[in-house]
A and B are shown apart, each in its own frame.
Chain A
Amino acid sequence: MSERAPEQVATTYREAVRAGLREALQREPRAFLMGEDIGRYGGCYAVTKGMLDEFGPERIRDTPLSESGFVGAGIGAAMAGMRPIVEVMTCNFSLLCLDQILNNAATIRHMSGGQFSVPIVIRMATGAGRQLAAQHSHSLEGWYAHIPGIRVLAPATLEDGRGMLWTAMNDPDPVLIFENIMLYNMGGTIDAAAGAVDIDRAVVRRPGRDVSLLTYGGSLWKTLEAAATLKEQGIDAEVIDLRTLRPLDDATIMESVRKTRRAVIVDEGWRSGSISAEIATRIVEQAFWSLDAPITRVCTEEVPIPYPKHLEDAALPSREKIEAAVRKVVGR
């Protein structure tokens, strides 16, 4: 075997997720896709476009508009030995199947005394920024991260968009994957042979000394842009991509915060009772004596997400808000 540099291919986040789905169906005969408009229409965000032709109607299943019904069917299929990958169009509609996720998927291993497991993967779009108005712009990944018994992933990069799925498929318990809608068109290059990635660890996307910026999903890129601007102002920010919101990778978070002694959490969820609140509490519990400044959060304003573009932008975490929060905690 001759050694050569890995081939890089241009792709988008949408195509990377699709590549992950195709690989899963090719490798795992028990796997199938199920969801609203994923077959003939190719998916609301066009992630599954072309897959009906490639894999056929047995494995790419359009469902009625009935989240509780098809997520429940997916849970049943998983218990019966299949490896269903269910797409809930957006997390906004997932509240209709919250009972299935919380009361069935997350509890059956426990309630059956370990006789049954639910190896289901549920994908859903999350986030705001496309002027879809209040009912279609929620970020509910933090809610799901509250639930013991499931794993919650937030892929932010092309590699994670493609590689987290296969690892999630091998998890014997339910895994929820939240894809931020603002990422689907994000382009870049990826190793042609990119494959499975771990779903346990947070990753330092940018090392720094002065402050730890903890974020995930769609906010990662705003945070990295803010860090680049701050660097020009002499503030060396470390950016952590949490990747997995449940279970949180406390070790990586605390290692960073103990080093920089300051933390700013960037979270597209609402502030009260958010995943950012959970992270802040853990930092206080585990790294209090390393802190030099109050832990600060940049979250979505506590309003229904507005429709007008300027108000929607004002409601969401932005590069400017992140920079201002960082300057405050480092005292500059």
Chain B
Amino acid sequence: MGEFRMPSLGSDMEKGTLVEWLKKPGDTVRPGDVVAVIETEKGAIEIEAFEAGTFERSLVDIGQTVPVGTPIAVINGGVRPSAPIAAPAAAVPRQAASAPPMAPRIAGPVEGLKVSPAARKLAAERGIDVTQIRGSGPDGSIVFTDVESYAPGVKPTAQAPIPSAPSKEKRATPPDMGMRSIIAAATARSKREIPHYYLSHEVDITRALKWLAKTNTRRTPDERLLPAVLLLKALARALRKHPGFNGFYEENAFRLSDRIHIGVAIAIRGGGLVAPAIHDTDKLSLDDLMERLRDLVTRVRQGRFRSSEISDPTITLTSLGERGVDTVIPVIYPPQVAILGAGTPRKQPMIADGKVRVRDVITLSLAGDHRASDGHSGALFLVAWANLLQHPEEL
């Protein structure tokens, strides 16, 4: 390989600032390892290596801001780069007003992997790591349509370790205006382009909360499950039966994703929010899901999440938790085609078996993209989610 470049973590990202190196010269790098922490308008993000090799040297100093595509380190994969790599000339000073957007850099050939030029170009434009794609072309080569239909997911290799030494000052939340402008761009595009439709449903979750309370009595506080994991797991299961809400609408067509990565909206202290993915939500047990959720919330609050977590969600859940609001009517995060909402659970009278009873109730809502689905299928999906919550022991 050779050059490790400043990745693009979204079409709106033009530059990134190096916050911390997590590899030093001589370190072994495996795919999925976190190599560095960079600060973008979305927050501090851990960037991962796609290929194995040895970390040779860094090309960018801490605090330096460079445009997307700039080589920031040399990672030697056994083959030495043919020419010495110069330190980036296009480095822009920190706090520069704006850097000119760069055309995506197209990666060079990857040893042992056949990637067509068209596939390589598209992968560069979308910031996709081709080593994660299975090729359908001649001799197993990766061709254009393989990249086009690729739904990014967790790396097959081991999880990236969470760095043990959280840094002190550089990890600060980015300026509000940066975060706010990102949210502004995404939501404005959503409301401009996506014909939303909305459904909501009042759901009796008395049984679910009772089951949860019973389960939690046997657990220490840090093992206890939150209602959010029931919502997540039930949602993932509902998506398996209603895959038409899981995927991306791009280039005038909806593409199903065969993997389910639910994005979880998490508010950031100091304003704004992000919705990073919990990868393969449907395959996780409630305990694993709880652990992932805790880890994610902690890291988001610290301003640390991984590049793949930001780019991968196939659908999003926004839960207003304990904020005391009944209903949320959410805005879809493009290019996703649906977002689910959950209000605060509350006690209210409900009619059951012909009698008025006090029950635990939550209002679940769905905003759907009318280009990808209709109110009919949306209603079936929403009810399926609600029904799965009636049997928490089966989740």
List chain A positions with a Cβ less than 8 A from chain B: 261, 288-294, 328-331
Enumerate 13 A-B pairs (CB-CB under 8 Å) in ascending A order: A261-B116, A261-B143, A291-B116, A291-B118, A292-B118, A292-B141, A292-B144, A293-B116, A293-B137, A293-B143, A294-B138, A330-B138, A331-B143
CA of A330 to CA of B143, assembled, Å? 10
Set A261, A328, A331: member contacting B118, Cβ < 8 A = A261
Provide the bound-state CA to CA distance between A292 and B148, in Å: 12
Interface of B, helix, strand, loop or mixed by DSSP: helix
B272 close to chain A: CB less than 8 A: no
> CB-nearest residue of chain B relative to A288?
B117
B207 within 8 A of A: no
Q: How many A-B residue pairs have CB under 8 A?
A: 38
**Which of B123-148 touch A at CB < 8 Å?**
136-139, 141, 143-144
Minimum C-beta distance from B74 to chain A (A): 26
Known interface pairs A261-B143, A261-B144, A331-B141; A292-B119 also in contact (CB < 8 Å): yes
**Centre residue among B106, B116, B121, B139 by max chain A CB count within 10 A:** B116
Contact at B121–A289, with CB atoms within 8 Å? yes
Q: In the complex the two chains form, what is the Cα distance from A328 to B137 in whole Å?
A: 9
> Could you tell me the distance in whole angstroms from the C-beta of A280 to the nearest C-beta in chain B?
14
How many angstroms from the CA of A331 to the CA of B144 in the assembled complex? 13
State the CA gap A290–B145 with chains docked (Å).
12
Q: What CA separation (Å) do A329 and B119 show in the bound complex?
A: 15
Give B residues with C-beta under 8 Å from A.
106, 116-121, 136-139, 141, 143-144
Q: Which of A288, A289, A293 contacts B138 (CB 8 A)?
A: A293
Q: A288, A289, A290, A292: which contacts B137 (Cβ < 8 A)?
A: A292
Shortest C-beta distance, A256 to chain B (Å), equals 14
How far in angstroms is the closest Cβ of chain B from A169? Answer: 43
- Cβ–Cβ contact B118 & A289, under 8 A: yes
- A-B contact sample (17 more), CB < 8 A, given A261-B144, A291-B116: A289-B117, A289-B118, A289-B120, A289-B121, A290-B118, A292-B117, A292-B118, A292-B137, A292-B143, A292-B144, A293-B138, A293-B141, A330-B138, A331-B137, A331-B139, A331-B141, A331-B143
User: How far is A289 from B121 in the complex, measured between Cα atoms in Å?
Assistant: 6
Question: How many angstroms from the CA of A225 to the CA of B194 in the assembled complex?
Answer: 46
Q: How far is the CB of A285 from chain B (nearest CB, A)?
A: 12
Bound CA–CA A330/B144 (angstroms): 12
Q: How far is the CA of A129 from the CA of B141 in the complex (A)?
A: 37
Residues of the B chain whose Cβ atoms lie less than 8 Å from the Cβ of A293 = 116, 137-138, 141, 143
Are A292 and B136 CB-contacts (below 8 A) given A261-B143, A261-B144, A331-B141? no
Does B136 contact A331, Cβ atoms closer than 8 Å? yes
Alpha-carbon separation in the docked complex, A193 to B139 (Å): 51
State whether A291 touches B117 (Cβ < 8 A): yes
